[in-house]
């Protein structure tokens, strides 16, 4: 038995699951798969954009006053999964377009070039598609897929939220 603590969620988990599938399909031995997925995980990342902080405030992850002020000012929080698996705020932006631009900048800063990208949205397909086109404008060879957030991710991402899992340019190939 091998347990991989991803310290992540949603689209980054999908990248890891797809890689595991590919490693099994090519017939690697169990121990080799364990080593390979750990090596791959070092080169996957998660970034997110939240339109609302209400559910995070309800669960004690954000102060309610901060969530209320962010809502009133139209502030979107851009964050990532930290190395410890916590929500790490990278910046705050005003409006959706600024948030999408910042996500692309964060992906570039973490080494995305032509890797795989999974964009999940919570009732915001238009923004997810716009982000896909923005990613392709900067990284034409990137393999970008758009999907929807699952149940738990939808709860935290809330209406309008985006979660993006991607691999950097040092991600090992199968």
Q: To the nearest whole number, what is the mean pLDDT of the chain?
A: 93
Q: Give the tens place of pLDDT for each residue, 46-92.
A: 999 998 888 888 888 778 888 888 888 888 999 998 888 777 889 99
* pLDDT score of 73: 87
Task: Determine the Cα–Cα distance for residues 48 and 128; give it in Å rounded to an integer.
Answer: 11
Q: Give the tens place of pLDDT for each residue, 86-108.
A: 778 899 998 899 999 999 999 99
pTM as predicted? 0.92
Residue 169 has pLDDT above 80, yes or no: yes
Pairwise pLDDT comparison (135 vs 113), residue with the higher score: 135
* pLDDT score of 63: 84
Radius of gyration of the chain (CA): 16
* pLDDT score of 98: 94
* pLDDT score of 38: 96
The three state secondary structure string of the chain is CCCCCCCCCHHHHHHHHHHHHHHHHCCCCHHHHHHHHHHHHCCEEEEEEECCCHHHHHCCCCCHHHHHHHHHHCEEEEEEECCCCCEEEEEEEECHHHHHHHHHHHHHHCCCCCCEEEEEECCCHHHHHHHHHHHHHHCCCCEEEEEECCHHHHHHHCCCCEEEEEECCCCCCC
* pLDDT score of 21: 97
Task: Determine the Cα–Cα distance for residues 45 and 112; give it in Å rounded to an integer.
Answer: 10
């Amino acid at each position: 038995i091998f347990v991989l603590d991803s310290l992540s969620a949603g689209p980054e988990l999908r990248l890891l699951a797809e890689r595991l599938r590919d490693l099994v399909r090519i017939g690697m031995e169990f121990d080799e798969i364990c080593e390979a997925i750990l090596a791959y995980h070092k080169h996957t990342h998660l970034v997110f954009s939240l339109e609302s902080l209400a559910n995070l405030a309800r669960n004690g992850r954000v102060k309610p006053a901060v969530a209320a002020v962010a809502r009133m000012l139209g502030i979107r929080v851009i964050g990532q999964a930290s190395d410890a698996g916590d929500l790490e705020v990278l910046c705050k932006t005003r409006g959706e377009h600024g948030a999408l631009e910042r996500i692309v900048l964060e992906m570039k800063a973490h080494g995305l070039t032509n890797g795989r990208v999974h964009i999940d949205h919570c009732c915001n397909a238009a923004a997810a598609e716009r982000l896909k086109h923005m990613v392709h404008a900067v990284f034409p060879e990137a393999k970008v897929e758009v999907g929807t957030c699952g149940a738990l991710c939808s709860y935290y991402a809330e209406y309008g939220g985006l979660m993006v899992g991607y691999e950097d340019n040092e991600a090992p190939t199968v």
